[in-house]
Amino acid sequence: MAASMTDKRDLLILYGSQTGYAEDTARRISRQAWRRHFTAQVLAMDQIDIAAFFATTSPVIFVCSTTGQGDEPDNMRRFWRLLLRKSIPHDALDAMAFAVFGLGDSSYQKFNFPAKRLCRRLAQLGAAPMIERGDGDDQHYLGVDGALDPWLDKLWGVLLDRFPLPAPIVPEDVPPDAAVGVELADSAGLALDVDTSAPVAPESHKATLVAAERISAADHFQDVRHFRFELEDHSTAPIWNPGDCATLRPSNLQCDVDEFLDLVGWTAKADALLQITPKQELLPSWLPTQTTLRWLCTHYFDITAVPRRSFFEMLFYFSQHDEEREKLHDFSSSSGQDDLHAYCMRPRRTIVETLSDFPHSRIPLAYMFDILPAIAERSFSISSACAATPATVDLTVAIVHYKTLIRKPRVGLCTKWLMQMPLGQNVGLRFTKGTMKLPTDPTTPIIMVGPGTGIAAFMAFIQQRRKDNANANYLFFGCRSESKDFYYRRLLEEWVAEDTLRLFCAFSRDQIAKLYVQDRIRQNAELMWSLIDKQKAAVYVSGNANRMPDDVRHAFIDVVAANAGVSSTEAEEYVKSMVKAGRYQEECWY
């Protein structure tokens, strides 16, 4: 056993998760740890106190996903920033043993970059890898779990060498302890004085929905809406900057809650008082300790989520039916991941639909926090500038519709919640940093490339620049048709008329040949080059992350090559140096 290791069988499992998959994986690892008599603490990287992290003597397992263009997920950004501080001594982590598992998609260029960078940085600070990094890959026929299971086998091998088992491994058919204590309060009376309103996280700002309007044509395939919220309190100091996001936590609709309560057999006790006691699991501070099942199913549990592997792993313990148990076991085993994908992920089958396929399973109250996922927050780029309208938060939201192979078409939880929200409703908004930032010098020209809802943040950019009397603003906007999805046309044309905006549109389907923003960039190559080269313009690219960001980057490389008279390799280096200098910024999403 390594001399620096404690003899206590403690593990720290830290995750960076964008969609919840890495978090789910972290929890599954912690259950495997429990079977091997370890005590594991599971936290999002941003939840751990950084001093406590540096003082950790137990082995640390990181599960880290990838978002955007090889970026760190939101809930590890703060941790990552702190870990990169130059002032940290080079031997700061030399007592730490670690393992990193990355989740990503190898069809993207920056496959598992956050996990790779994390490994490198930990090693730089003296931490010792217990095993090689694992690379979970969406392209694997079993998904990211294809690499996870063999990686975990190796990891347990190393850990059990260092910490030999004190007793046999707990067999697979024994359920682990529940992570949270849930009990019906003694009298089991109705919770008449319990607050039924939506939770407001402490750092949230209270806001009211004051306008909601569809901004794509009624007959357009995509429903894109503009939502306007009015902040209750706003100070004179800007509380968000152009490029920042507003983060919201949606709630479930009452009809979905009722259906769910009925299905799991909780309707009769839905309004009884429950006592919640955190055990291993860290619960958010805004979660009440006394509440009702109805409140939890409305505001906390994501009952319309597509269930993940651990849902089946846990439900297995609570089914009395042999055939169902066999199926649940298959879905939670390594070899069943293909079946699980076909059953659940591909058709985006929800928890409610899944439970109706397994009518003999019952979720015990005590285990609901282990089985049901929590509702995740959603972030949207803000389309208004605090400097121009300090109390107004505008959002540009594409309503998420799923067309699936099974049953009724469905709408994403957050957009469904926003769509039915009556004007006048209060919500909690949190402001989070985006990746794009305006140049500090207002005389620096900006070139914005924002097809589709990629325009969202640029609406804030332009409003801020107008306020600053910064008039060198160039926008490349792309959409399918001038008459269907030319968002914010009236405002944009107003700004063009007052000379604060140069607008280049690419209507991809208004003519036979496709026309994209990158074509318009190439058509204006000389102007672009003069802005970039002579006036040191900053370039911003925002929108769908599929192929657009790479295509646009190639257009700028061509602009540089043609006008600077250099090879395309040199032009690529030039654009790379712009990225390094913060003069070429991307914020893209899937």
Least distance in Å: CB of 561 to ligand 2AM? 19
Interface residues with ligand 2AM (CB under 6 A)? 451-452, 478-480, 508-509, 516-518, 547-548, 551
Least distance in Å: CB of 128 to ligand 2AM? 43
Q: How far is the C-alpha of 72 from the C-alpha of 80, rounded, in Å?
A: 8
Q: How far is the C-alpha of 128 from the C-alpha of 563, rounded, in Å?
A: 49
Least distance in Å: CB of 477 to ligand 2AM? 9
Structure tokens at 90: 């080079």
Is 78 annotated in a binding site? The answer is no
Least distance in Å: CB of 547 to ligand 2AM? 4
Is 120 annotated in a binding site? The answer is no
242 vs 452 by CB, closer to ligand 2AM: 452
Structure tokens at 467: 């306020």
Is 197 annotated in a binding site? The answer is no
Is 453 annotated in a binding site? The answer is yes
Is 337 annotated in a binding site? The answer is no
Least distance in Å: CB of 487 to ligand 2AM? 10
DSSP for 456-491, please give it: HHHHHHHHHHHHTT---EEEEEEES-TTTS-TTHHH
Least distance in Å: CB of 453 to ligand 2AM? 8
Is 396 annotated in a binding site? The answer is no
Task: Find the angle CA(506)-CA(510)-CA(515) to the nearest 5 degrees.
Answer: 35
Torsion of CA 482, 485, 488, 492, to 10 degrees: -30
Q: How far is the C-alpha of 479 from the C-alpha of 468, rounded, in Å?
A: 29
142 vs 456 by CB, closer to ligand 2AM: 456
Is 67 annotated in a binding site? The answer is yes
12 vs 505 by CB, closer to ligand 2AM: 505
- Tokens 């392209």, residue? 139
372 vs 506 by CB, closer to ligand 2AM: 506
> Could you tell me if 16 and 73 are in contact, meaning their C-beta atoms sit under 8 angstroms apart?
yes
AA letter at 586? E
CA torsion sign for 316, 318, 319, 322 is positive
Q: Is 370 left (phi over 0), alpha (psi -120 to 50) or beta?
A: alpha
Is 443 annotated in a binding site? The answer is no
Q: How far is the C-alpha of 180 from the C-alpha of 133, rounded, in Å?
A: 31
Is 104 annotated in a binding site? The answer is yes
224 vs 462 by CB, closer to ligand 2AM: 224
Q: How far is the C-alpha of 12 from the C-alpha of 44, rounded, in Å?
A: 11
Least distance in Å: CB of 454 to ligand 2AM? 7
220 vs 341 by CB, closer to ligand 2AM: 220
Is 38 annotated in a binding site? The answer is no
Least distance in Å: CB of 383 to ligand 2AM? 16
| 3-class secondary-structure state, position 232 | coil
4 vs 483 by CB, closer to ligand 2AM: 483
| E strands present in 525-576 | 538-544
| 3-class secondary-structure state, position 45 | helix
| Local structure of residue 252 (DSSP, 8 states) | -
161 vs 482 by CB, closer to ligand 2AM: 482
**In Å, what is the CA distance from 189 to each residue of 195, 336, 431, 470?**
15, 43, 39, 63
- Binding-site positions for NADP(+): 453, 508-509, 514-518, 551
- Binding-site positions for FAD: 348, 378-381, 412-415, 589
- Binding-site positions: 65-68, 103-112, 138, 348, 378-381, 412-415, 453, 508-509, 514-518, 551, 589
- Binding-site positions for FMN: 65-68, 103-112, 138
